[in-house]
Amino acid sequence: MRITTTVNGTEREVDDVWAGESLLYVLRERLGLPGAKNACEQGECGSCTVYLDGEPVCACLVAAGQANGRQVTTVEGLAEGERLHPVQEAFLETGAVQCGFCTPGLVVAAHDLLQRVSRPSDLEIREALAGNLCRCTGYEKILDAVRLAADRQAQG
């Protein structure tokens, strides 16, 4: 089947999508957007988190056909051209990126949180990121990144 979906603001057509194909596969393998990572393919790790019509979803659990006619935003789409989004910058500056496998999903989840709650408590950050697993950082630097991004957002 053919699907038409708007990805990071651009309408994209994808042909020959098979029924069991995931949105994650389409993004990575057909559209050349490797930001969302394929770690578990079971909805367990959050590495593949993207926005679908503004809601964060695990792209590995979304059938590509479900994205037909809808808006997808990936971690690549948060940056403005060459300029990283402040959440992306905060992850880099605080050392929250180690192997980086979890990072795209965490950035999208943190971005979503900060859109809803401008100054989240540590508990709110932990709850919002609970579905995103990181094997490297011990999470402290990730908390630092979200706090830093929130501070900067508050300063305008």
- Please report, as ranges, the residues that interact with ligand FES according to CB under 6 A: 38-41, 43-48, 58, 60, 98-102, 134-137
Quick one: DSSP state of residue 60?
A: G
**Closer by beta carbon to ligand FES, 4 or else 23:** 23
Give me the least distance between CB of 152 and ligand FES, in Å please: 22
**Closer by beta carbon to ligand FES, 17 or else 45:** 45
**Closer by beta carbon to ligand FES, 40 or else 63:** 40
**What are the φ and ψ backbone dihedral angles of 43, each rounded to 5 degrees?**
75, 20
- List, in order, residues 6 or more apart from 91 with CB less than 8 Å away: 97, 103, 106, 107, 110, 142, 145
Give me the least distance between CB of 116 and ligand FES, in Å please: 21
Sheet (strand 71-73) strand order: 10-14, 3-7, 71-73, 49-52, 55-58
**Closer by beta carbon to ligand FES, 127 or else 154:** 127
Helices 86-93, 140-155: crossing angle, 10 deg rounding: 140
Q: d(Cα 99, Cα 133) in Å, to the nearest integer?
A: 12
Give me the least distance between CB of 7 and ligand FES, in Å please: 17
Give me the least distance between CB of 6 and ligand FES, in Å please: 21
